[in-house]
Amino acid sequence: MSAVRFGVVSDEISNNVHRSLQLASEWGMEYIELNSVWNKSITDITDEEAERVLNEANQFGLRVHIVLISFLKPILIHELNKSGELDDLPEFKKHMAMLDRGLELAQAFGTNLVRTFSFRRPEGDPYPIRDGGGEIPERVMEIIRYGMRQACDKAKSRGCLLALENVRSCYGNSGENAAAIMNEVGDDLKAIWDPANALIAGGEVYPKGYELVRDRIVDVHLKDAVIEDREAKQTRWECIGKGETPYKEQFAALLEDGLTESWTLETHFRSGGIDGEEASRQSFAGMKSILESVQ
């Protein structure tokens, strides 16, 4: 059985890059994923700042696995009538420029993976918790396919791949919906699998969802969550092992399927006034404890 390779979304520990990478190294992690640094979105950093991040990573023996841009996450498309209208949407043009920068950074950091989302659902925050994550109307799916196919082609031209993260606010929120989108877009769209996001999107827990995306997984985001009130759409983040995500079963499946190259801590929870550093420390300990119980 292959050894698990751990990493972390760096700003979940701290936006101080040096401190975040120092702790990741001390905890035995092998890589980082970059969402924001020094309180700046990763696509807003300069080339000089990117070089500084890379030097810090090299200093601590860490590689960059994925550049976590927020591509397509806030864009509403439910009022569009046909896919071609997407090209005239100012926000879509802005995000395609964001993608260009994300691809530049991926190449600079020595990775070929860039995150994408799948356009925003219109229901508003907090989003409903629906079985399977809720339907994707055929017209909307056509627009998603059109926009994401453009993005995948752009990434491919730069020697990169896009990885779709399932997140509650977007159409690809569950494993079921993420798989449907990936099947529409094509094999070169990969998956960032987030079991806790699937839980709060539609109460989806292993094996449902996971079985539909596992052949596309290039990264696993790990945090935990609780559905407090399904009707009121109330959820909260938790320390890994203290929420409702069935990680014992999920970890056993990941090990059995040989998906051990990238288990990424994405802490999220804060409780009792603790900071990201302590919350990440607790969640990483919870993750390793569950892993030990199934190995």
Tens of pLDDT, residue by residue over 239-295, are 999 999 999 999 999 999 999 999 999 999 998 889 999 999 999 999 999 999 999
Banded pLDDT at 1 (limits 50, 70, 90): low
What secondary structure, in 3-state letters, does 187-224 show? CCEEEEECHHHHHHHHCCCCCCCHHHHHHHEEEEEECE
Indicate whether 208 belongs to any domain. Answer: yes
- Please provide the average confidence, as pLDDT, over all residues in the chain: 97
Does this model's pTM top 0.85? My answer is: yes
Asked, for residue 248, whether it belongs to a domain, the answer is: no
Q: What is the pLDDT of residues 134-149, one digit of tens each?
A: 999 999 999 999 999 9
CATH code (residue 76): 3.20.20.150
Say if 35 falls within a structural domain: yes
Is residue 258 in some structural domain?
A: no
In a domain, 291, yes or no: no
* Alpha-carbon span 108 to 121, nearest angstrom: 33
User: How, if at all, do strands 6-9 and 31-34 pair?
Assistant: parallel
pLDDT at position 2, please? 75
Model confidence over 204-239: pLDDT tens digits?
A: 999 999 999 999 999 999 999 999 999 999 999 999
Structure tokens belonging to residue 108:
């600079």
Q: What is the CA radius of gyration of the chain?
A: 18
**Of 164, 156, 252, 269, nearest to 213 (Cα)?**
164
Any domain includes 234? no
Number of domains in the chain: 1
Residue at token pair 């120092």: 22
Q: What's the whole-number mean pLDDT along residues 151-170?
A: 98
User: How far apart, in whole angstroms, are the C-alpha atoms of residue 242 and residue 228?
Assistant: 13
Separation CA 161–CA 99 (nearest Å): 11
Closest by alpha carbon to 240, among 199, 207, 212? 199
Tell me the residue range of the domain where 35 lies: 6-219
In a domain, 280, yes or no: no
In tens, the pLDDT along 18-63 reads 999 999 999 999 999 999 999 999 999 999 999 999 999 999 999 9
pLDDT per residue as tens digits for the range 52-100: 999 999 999 999 999 999 999 999 999 999 999 999 999 999 999 999 9
- From the list 168, 169, 245, 173, the residue with the least C-alpha distance to 205 is 245
Establish if 262 belongs to a structural domain.
no
- Sorted by sequence, the CB contacts under 8 Å of residue 97 that are 6+ apart come out as none
